[in-house]
A and B are shown apart, each in its own frame.
Chain A
C-alpha cells in the first residue's frame, strides 16, 4: 500500500486532461487557481528557475553561515561538557546543575535551530519546485497474487494443524476470550456511584462521636494549628478563620478527603447587621456563623470574605454570597447559598451541634 511502490502510472501525465496531475496529499490545483492570478498558473509556487547567480551565491553563503553556527554550537556543547560539566562526577554536581542545564540545553537548541533555519533558507532560496506527479496504483491486487496468497494461507493453516487439532484451537480461543473481556472490567473505574457519601461530611460523624460521650456537639478547631476555639477567642467583629471538626486529622478514615469536604469558614458578624433569614435560624453564637467553604457552583474554596460588605466571594467564577443573609447568592453563577453549620456554645467553646443541613459543594444528579 505504500506510495513508493510505483509499479503503476508513476510520472504519467493524465493524457489530454488539460489539468496538471498532482502529488498525493497536496491541495487540489483547482483551489490554487483561485488564489493565483491567471498568468501565474503555469508558474509553480516558488520556482527558482529565474534565480540569478549573484543572489544564489548570497543565499549559499547565508546557509553556510547557519551550518557553521550549528557546527560551532555542537562543538561548544561537547567542549562545555568535557571542560566544565563532565568534571566532578558530571553535571557540576548538584550545586551548578542549573547553570549546566542552561548551557548544554542552550547550545543544543542553537545547533538544531541553526540547522533548521539553514535548511529552510536553502529550500526557499536555492531549490526549484516543480510539479511532481505520482499516481496511486490500484488498491486491489491482481488475480494471480490473490490466488497465490490464498494458497499460501491455507497451506500454512493446514501445516499448523489448527483445523486438524480442535483441542489446540479451542484452548487458544479460551485463552483469548478473557483478554478481550479485561478492558470491560476497567469500565468499573467510572464508578462507583457516590451513594450517600456526598450528603454527609465528617461533621456528622464528629458530632455523633461527641454526643456518644455525653456532649452536645463537636468543638471547632483552627485548620492548621488544631486549636479549639472559645467564643471569647473569636469575639472580634469582622474576624474570619478556617475551621475543622476536632479530631478529623487523627480519626477520619481518609483525613484529606474528609477535610476537603468538611472545611468551614467561621465569621464574626456584628449582631445588628444580621438579616432576619440568618437570625431566625438561630445557628449563630453572638453573631459567629459558620458556612461551608466549598462553593455551590463547582466547588472552589469560596473564602474571600470582605468584612466591610460581609460578602463571601468565590475566586473562580465570582459567585458572591451575603454572609449576613444566610449566604444568599447576590452575584455570579452559583445557584444555592453556602450551607450553614449549626453552632452553639458548650463550656465556653464553640461547638457544632449537627452536620450541614444539606449536601455541601456543587450540585449532583442524585442530590434531589
Chain B
C-alpha cells in the first residue's frame, strides 16, 4: 500500500490514470457498442460458409463434368461434354438439381428426370406417424434445401444469370388460363403436346411430360426462363412474367380436367383413341361375326 501511495505521487501517475480510464471505457464500449459490426462479421462469415458449402457441394457433385471452376469440359476431339456454368444463374441450378436431372448419371441424348440425389432431395415426404422419424426427415429436408440454396448461391456467384422466381410469380392462382392456353399451344404444344403429355424429338431426345404434379410451377417457370437441354429459351422480355404465370395456370388447370371416356389414353389425341377404336372395337365386331357364323361342331349321323 505504501508502494502504491508512493507511485501515486509520481509525476506521470495522473497521465497513467487517465490512460487507464480511457482504455477501460474503450474496452467496455467495445464490449457493448459494436453489435452491428459483429453481426455483420457473423453474416459475412456465414455467407462465406454458405458459399464454401456450395463450392464443396459443387466440387463433390458437379465438378467432375463441369470442371473445377465451372468452366465446362470437352472430350479429346474438342466436343463439349458439359457446358460452362458461368452465368447460367440460380434458376438453372434450381431446375436441373431439383428435378434430379443433375447430377447426371451418364451423358446420353437426354438427361432424364429422376429422384434428386440425397444431398439435394427437397421432395422428401415428411408425412410419417413416428415423431422421431418425422423429425429426422424434416431435418434431412431442411439440410437438402440449405444445400440447394448454397449451391445456387455458389453458381450464381460465378456470373450473373436468371434468379429463382418468387413463390408469388409462379402461383397458378390468378393466372389467365385462356391466354396461357393460347401461348402454350402456339409455342410449347408442338413438343410437349397440347395438354403437356410430352413427345419425341430428334436423335433420341424428347420433350418431357408436364402433366404430373411432380412438375412444380417453379420448375415450369425456370425451364421457360433458362431453356434446359434442347428446350428453347423464353426469357422474361419475350414472354413476360404475366404470360408465364398464365401458362403455368393453364398447365395446372389442364391436369385437373376429367377424362370423359374414363381413360385419357395419354391424352395424346385422336391417334391413340383411333387406334383403340380400331383394335378393340373392330376386333370385338370381328370376333362376334366369327362366333355367329361359325360352323357348329356337330356332325350328321352318316346314313
Residues of chain A touching chain B, judged by Cβ–Cβ distance below 8 Å, are: 39-40, 42-51, 98, 120, 124-125, 222-225, 227, 229-230, 232-242, 263, 267-268, 301, 303-309, 311, 313, 315, 318, 320, 331
Contact = CB atoms under 8 A, between A and B. Distances in A.
Interface stretch (B1-9, B96-104, B225-233): B225-233
B254 interface: no
Interface in B239-289: 239-240, 243, 260
Contacts of A307: 227, 230-233
A114 B217 CA distance: 51
Interface stretch (B35-43, B184-192, B208-216): B184-192
Contact of A240 (B187, B295, B302): B187
A268 B229 CA distance: 16
Contact of A225 (B179, B295, B302): B179
A305 B231 CA distance: 8
Contacts of A320: 202
A242 B186 contact: yes
Interface in B175-196: 179, 182-183, 186-187, 190-191
Contacts of B179: 224-225
Contacts of B237: 230, 232-235
B199 interface: yes
Given A98-B260, A237-B233, A320-B202, A124 B238 contact: no
27 contacts: A39-B302, A42-B302, A43-B299, A43-B300, A44-B300, A47-B298, A47-B300, A50-B301, A120-B291, A120-B292, A224-B182, A224-B186, A227-B240, A233-B237, A235-B237, A236-B227, A238-B232, A239-B234, A240-B233, A303-B187, A304-B191, A306-B232, A307-B227, A307-B232, A313-B201, A315-B199, A320-B202
A245 B180 CA distance: 21
Contact of A236 (B186, B205, B235, B299): B235
Contacts of A46: 295-296, 298
B65 to A, nearest CB: 16
Given A224-B186, A234-B238, A240-B187, A313 B202 contact: yes
Contacts of A224: 179, 182-183, 186-187, 243
B203 interface: yes
Contacts of A50: 298-301
* Nearest 6 interchain pairs by C-beta: A46-B296, A240-B232, A43-B300, A233-B237, A306-B230, A239-B233
B232 A49 contact: no
A267 B190 CA distance: 15
A242 B182 CA distance: 11
Contacts of B205: 306, 308
A267 B233 CA distance: 10
Contacts, number: 120
Question: Which label, helix, strand, loop or mixed, suits the secondary structure of the B interface?
Answer: loop
Contacts of B302: 39, 42
A240 B229 CA distance: 14
Nearest to A40: B299
Contacts of B232: 238-240, 267, 305-307
Contact of B187 (A124, A234, A241): A241
A236 B260 CA distance: 41
A35 to B, nearest CB: 9
B202 A311 contact: yes
A125 B187 CA distance: 62
B229 A308 contact: yes
B296 A124 contact: yes
Contact of B238 (A48, A222, A318): A222
A222 B298 contact: no
Nearest to A239: B233
Given A224-B182, A232-B237, A240-B232, A309 B203 contact: yes
B28 to A, nearest CB: 57
